[in-house]
């Protein structure tokens, strides 16, 4: 028996694994721009339609940390195939949903089966590549992780405008079937070590309740005015109690459903902290820039997508170069360069103003792509470097879960800060600019606007400026977050080389 399994066609297997991940990550954002259309067709308000996003996020957040338990129970290859096939079936059901409750239910199922897909793909890719080329595999997966969320809103908008919203879900069906058939065929000779771990019911129930409630609080907090809402207060208390029980139980149980003891590994702990904080800041950029372009700059959703899209160009172009030569460089140095570039682009945006042109915005996005190209692969390599082969899938699941949770915190906090600081600046600007101010009157008269219309225009201009100043402040803060992460990543200790997964040795 060979010590390492290699599929008959490595390139085809890589395509199958990558396609499934692309499909899964794409679905986290593809429905965002289609919500008004979905709401109209199913006869609900746009506010109610946001549960289409929330249900997917909640289910995925719950199932992600279960990856380690599920792969020990069923094996990585079976886990990948069944997750991908079930994702395709759930996508089809989303497309044929006739009411909002049906769509929310099928999106929840879709999110639940999507959870293990990314960490299992990560583990399988590492296991089928020789050590010298594992950096290439991780770089490819990083590129997919970056490009898919950018492509989601553009593709979703185009499909909804030109066809109909169910097709944003139907396109997953052929992709999922193809990916699962290819990987099943290519990996059928791989022997997975199957275990029969006992079911940790306390851990499972407290995880579902705690993470589910927390995700709902983070997704709905801004809409419900946070702790002025009794719903948010009750949900927060439920989440806090359930998560406290979950942490205590998982750290003391002999066979926990989520192995939190993986955090004892120094590089896994350090790398995960860097990944969670950097991804949270990166997610904040991806959330804020399109909103700012539409709210402040008057861009349509399509043009906002085009302005943000250059972010994906350099990751695509540099993936194979980074993957090929990265293992000759200190991973901490690559990650530091990534954080330096991403921090610098945040400081550039902190100088944006209302008259900034399209090419300037797109140029900063393009430059940020250099940082993104150097970010995921080194940080992932660092956090996986001191895990044992049988811990890779569980570690990948736990790190991805914490990264997803970090993104949810980031989305809520960023939106809250942007709105809150905009109100503060509106109040400050209003103290100095009033309709009775001579310079303000002269400006309004030159624009041919007087009376109530003039007052409304003045208020609109102050609001715009308030949001612009707030936008600049948030990006100034994000710049310092990235710079501070350079210190965090240097706490990691070499050597950095991702080990093959459990199916590699048999």
- Boundaries of every domain in the chain: 7-197, 200-256, 262-500
Residue by residue, pLDDT tens for the chain (506 residues) are 234 777 888 888 888 988 888 888 888 777 776 777 888 888 877 667 777 877 887 788 888 888 877 888 888 888 889 999 999 999 999 989 888 889 989 998 998 998 888 888 888 888 888 877 777 777 788 778 777 877 777 787 788 778 888 898 898 999 999 999 998 888 887 777 777 777 778 888 888 888 888 878 887 787 777 888 888 899 999 999 999 998 888 888 777 777 788 888 888 999 999 999 998 899 888 878 877 887 788 887 677 778 888 888 888 888 778 777 777 788 889 899 999 999 999 999 998 888 888 999 999 999 999 998 888 888 888 888 888 877 787 788 788 888 888 887 787 788 788 888 888 888 887 777 666 666 666 666 666 666 667 677 777 788 888 888 989 999 999 999 999 999 999 998 887 665 544 444 43
**Whole-number pLDDT of residue 505:** 40
- What sign results for the dihedral spanned by CA atoms 476, 481, 484, 490? negative
Interatomic CA distance for residues 260 and 75, integer angstroms: 20
CATH superfamily of 262-500: MFS general substrate transporter like domains (1.20.1250.20)
**Whole-number pLDDT of residue 498:** 52
Using only the alpha carbons of the chain, give its radius of gyration.
24
Interatomic CA distance for residues 160 and 166, integer angstroms: 8
CB atoms within 10 A of CB 4: 14
Q: Please report how many Cα atoms fall inside a 13 Å half-sphere around the Cα of residue 245, on the Cβ side.
A: 16
Largest CA distance in the chain: 88
Residue 279's nearest CA partner among 410, 378, 149 is 410
**Whole-number pLDDT of residue 75:** 83
Contact (Cβ atoms closer than 8 angstroms) between residue 471 and residue 463: no
Print the SS3 string covering 78-126.
Answer: HHHHHHHHHHHHHHHHHHHCCCHHHHHHHHHHHHHHHCCHHHHHHHHHH
Fold of 7-197: Growth Hormone; Chain: A; (1.20.1250)
And the tokens for 217?
């609080």
Residue 174's nearest CA partner among 91, 238, 101 is 91
And the tokens for 413?
């906090």
Contacts of 355 (CB under 8 A, 6+ apart): none
**Whole-number pLDDT of residue 2:** 36
C-alpha of 18 from chain center: 16
CB atoms within 10 A of CB 117: 28
Residue 139, judged by CB atoms within 10 A of its CB (0-12, 13-18, 19+), counts as buried
Contacts of 220 (CB under 8 A, 6+ apart): 54, 231, 232
C-alpha of 435 from chain center: 44
Contacts of 116 (CB under 8 A, 6+ apart): 63, 64, 66, 67, 70, 71, 79, 80, 83, 397
**Whole-number pLDDT of residue 304:** 78
**DSSP character at residue 132:** G
**Whole-number pLDDT of residue 454:** 67
Contact (Cβ atoms closer than 8 angstroms) between residue 341 and residue 315: no
> Taking CA 389 as the corner, what is the angle to CA 245 and CA 399, rounded to the nearest 5 degrees?
40
Interatomic CA distance for residues 268 and 380, integer angstroms: 9
Helix axes 67-74, 392-432, angle to 10 degrees: 160
Residue 341's nearest CA partner among 310, 365, 361 is 365
**Whole-number pLDDT of residue 504:** 43
Interatomic CA distance for residues 486 and 338, integer angstroms: 9
């Amino acid at each position: 028996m060979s010590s390492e399994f290699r599929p008959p066609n490595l390139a085809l297997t890589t395509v199958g694994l990558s396609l499934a991940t692309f499909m899964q990550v794409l679905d986290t954002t593809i429905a965002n721009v289609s919500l008004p259309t979905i709401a109209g067709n199913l006869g609900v308000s746009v506010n109610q339609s946001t549960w289409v996003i929330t249900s997917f996020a909640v289910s995925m957040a719950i199932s992600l940390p279960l990856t380690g338990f599920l792969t020990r129970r069923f094996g990585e290859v079976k886990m990948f195939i069944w997750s991908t096939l079930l994702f395709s079936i759930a996508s089809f059901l989303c497309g044929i949903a006739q009411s909002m409750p049906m769509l929310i239910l099928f999106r929840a199922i879709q999110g639940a089966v999507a959870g293990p897909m990314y960490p299992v793909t990560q583990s399988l890719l590492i296991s089928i590549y020789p050590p010298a080329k594992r950096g290439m595999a991780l770089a490819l997966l990083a590129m997919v992780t970056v490009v898919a969320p950018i492509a989601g809103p553009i593709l979703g908008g185009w499909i909804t405008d030109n066809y109909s919203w169910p097709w944003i879900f139907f396109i997953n069906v052929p992709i999922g079937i193809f990916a699962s058939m290819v990987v099943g065929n290519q990996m059928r000779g791989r022997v997975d070590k199957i275990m029969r771990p006992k079911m940790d019911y306390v851990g499972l129930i407290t995880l579902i309740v705690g993470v589910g409630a927390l995700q709902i609080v983070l997704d709905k907090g801004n809409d419900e005015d946070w702790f002025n809402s009794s719903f948010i207060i009750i949900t927060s208390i439920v989440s806090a109690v359930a998560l406290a029980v979950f942490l205590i139980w998982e750290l003391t149980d002999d066979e926990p459903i989520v192995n939190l003891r993986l955090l004892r590994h120094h590089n896994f702990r350090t790398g995960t902290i860097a990944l969670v904080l950097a991804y949270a800041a990166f997610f904040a950029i991806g959330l804020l820039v399109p909103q700012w372009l539409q709210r402040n700059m008057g861009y349509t959703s399509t043009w906002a997508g085009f302005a943000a899209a250059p972010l994906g160009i350099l990751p695509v172009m540099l993936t194979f170069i980074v993957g090929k030569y990265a293992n000759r460089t200190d991973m901490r140095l690559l990650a530091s360069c990534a954080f330096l570039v991403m921090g610098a682009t945040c400081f550039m945006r902190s100088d944006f103003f209302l008259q900034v042109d399209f090419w300037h915005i797109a140029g900063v996005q393009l430059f940020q792509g250099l940082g993104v190209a150097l970010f995921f692969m080194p940080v992932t390599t660092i956090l996986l470097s001191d895990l044992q082969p049988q811990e890779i899938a569980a570690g990948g699941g736990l790190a991805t879960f914490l990264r997803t949770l970090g993104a949810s915190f980031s989305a809520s906090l960023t939106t809250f800060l942007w709105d809150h600081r905009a109100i503060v600046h509106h109040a400050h600007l209003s103290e100095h600019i009033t309709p009775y101010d001579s310079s303000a009157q002269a400006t309004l008269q030159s624009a041919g606007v007087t009376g109530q219309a003039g007052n409304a225009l003045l208020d609109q201009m102050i609001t715009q400026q308030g949001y612009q100043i707030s936008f600049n402040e948030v990006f100034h803060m994000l710049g310092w977050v990235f710079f501070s992460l350079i210190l965090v990543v240097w706490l990691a200790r070499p050597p950095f080389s991702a080990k093959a997964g459990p199916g590699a040795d048999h």
